């Protein structure tokens, strides 16, 4: 499993924000476990990570494990929605797993659960990803 650490500086609070991304690839499924804040300072790195794997490896299913995400803003939601829109025409999908309740409330307000699959179990998400890739 690859671990990628992105550090973004936030001048307003004078502290560093970090988004750790653990990456695992199985067939055409990309599993990303995120830790930290997914916001305007870190979301571009997530977008690039996903897009690079879609283009280089033909990824069709992206599973985002948000268990250790402490904060998300509209930029983070936008990256998730944008990857959904990118994968749909290819027959792909995004599965979001292990979402903390406070993050889920934000996602629910944005309408993401109406269009994107959510799961509470990584193993089940990976199985669903494999089934989706078996077409």
Q: What is the reported pTM?
A: 0.81
Q: What is the pLDDT of residue 14?
A: 41
Q: What is the pLDDT of residue 126?
A: 56
How far is C-alpha 62 from the geometric centre of its chain's CA atoms?
7
Q: 61-80: per-residue pLDDT in tens?
A: 999 999 999 999 999 999 99
Cα–Cα distance, 99 to 85 (Å, whole number):
21
| DSSP, residue by residue, 109-134 | HHTHHHHSEEES-HHHHHHHHHHHHT
In this model, does residue 134 exceed pLDDT 50?
Answer: no
In this model, does residue 135 exceed pLDDT 50?
Answer: no
* 11 Cβ contact partners less than 8 Å away, ≥ 6 residues apart: none
Is there a contact between 71 and 40 (Cβ–Cβ < 8 Å)? no
Is there a contact between 94 and 71 (Cβ–Cβ < 8 Å)? no
Q: 36-48: per-residue pLDDT in tens?
A: 999 999 999 999 9
Does domain 2-133 match CATH 3.50.50.60?
no
In this model, does residue 130 exceed pLDDT 90?
Answer: no
């Amino acid at each position: 499993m690859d671990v990628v650490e992105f550090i973004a500086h936030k001048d307003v609070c004078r502290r560093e924000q970090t988004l750790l991304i653990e990456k695992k690839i199985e067939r055409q499924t990309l599993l990303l476990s995120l830790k930290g804040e997914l916001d305007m300072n870190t979301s571009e790195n997530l977008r690039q990570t996903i897009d690079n794997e879609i283009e280089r490896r033909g990824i069709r299913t992206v599973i985002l494990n948000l268990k250790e995400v402490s904060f998300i803003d509209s930029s983070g939601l936008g990256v998730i929605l944008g990857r959904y829109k990118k994968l749909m025409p290819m027959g792909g999908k995004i599965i979001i797993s292990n979402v903390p309740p406070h993050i889920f409330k934000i996602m629910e307000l944005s309408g993401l659960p109406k269009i994107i699959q959510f799961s509470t179990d990584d193993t089940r998400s990976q199985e669903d990803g494999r089934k989706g890739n078996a077409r």
